[in-house]
Amino acid sequence: MLRSRASRLFTASMLVIGVMVLVNLVALIEVRAAGNRLHTDTTPRLLAAERVQFDAADMKGAQNLYLLDKGRSRPVFLADQRRLGVSIAAARSIDTSAADMRLLAQVSSAYRRFQALDATIWSELEQGDTSAARRLAAGPATTLYNRLSALSAALSRPSKR
């Protein structure tokens, strides 16, 4: 048995150190698990939101390009437009909050309005009215793109669940 005062003090100290190590180990394991859960839950949603934002920028850039080259690069624009539609649909398939779903509905609405406006821009360009097409692209189409971009950026922000 522990008879001397020094041996009792040493044993008590080792017991306290052992408990501290155990508590720290459990805390470290829990923090790591929480980080893994956060990463697993958040990463797909963030990637989908960023994909929508990047595809919208590609689409708007391709629209500007086809206006500059008098329609020769229109197929690039159409491919970018389709890609954005696919990205929006993919973002809807991810488990998202009600707030994210409302944002995605607004993104979809802005995308459809952009498509409709682009049909008018393309028609003006085909009819030879380049200045009218450029005015529409620089004004209302840019406004719609800015809205689409802002909504997509809002999707990228962590939501309060």
Q: What is the pTM of this model?
A: 0.72
Number of domains in the chain: 1
Residue 121 within any structural domain of the chain: yes
Mind spelling out the 3-state secondary structure of the chain? Answer: CCCCHHHHHHHHHHHHHHHHHHHHHHHHHHHHHHHHHHHHHHHHHHHHHHHHHHHHHHHHHHHHHHHHCCCCCHHHHHHHHHHHHHHHHHHHHCCCCHHHHHHHHHHHHHHHHHHHHHHHHHHHHHCCCHHHHHHHHHHHHHHHHHHHHHHHHHHHCCCCC
Quick check: 39 pLDDT over 60? no
15 part of a folded domain: no
**Measured distance CA(121)–CA(115) in Å, rounded:** 10
Note whether residue 35 is domain-resident: no
Residue 24 inside a domain? The answer is: no
The pLDDT, as a whole number, for residue 58 is 96
Grade residue 161 by pLDDT with cuts at 50, 70 and 90.
Answer: very low
Going by pLDDT thresholds of 50, 70 and 90, the confidence category of residue 158 is low
Per-residue pLDDT of 100-133, as tens digits, reads 889 999 999 999 999 999 999 999 999 999 999 9
Tell me, yes or no, whether 50 lies in a domain: yes
Q: Is position 10 within any domain?
A: no
Here the CATH number for the domain that contains residue 69 is 1.20.120.1730
Domain span including residue 106 = 44-156
User: 30 in a domain, yes or no?
Assistant: no
Residue 37 domain-assigned (yes or no): no
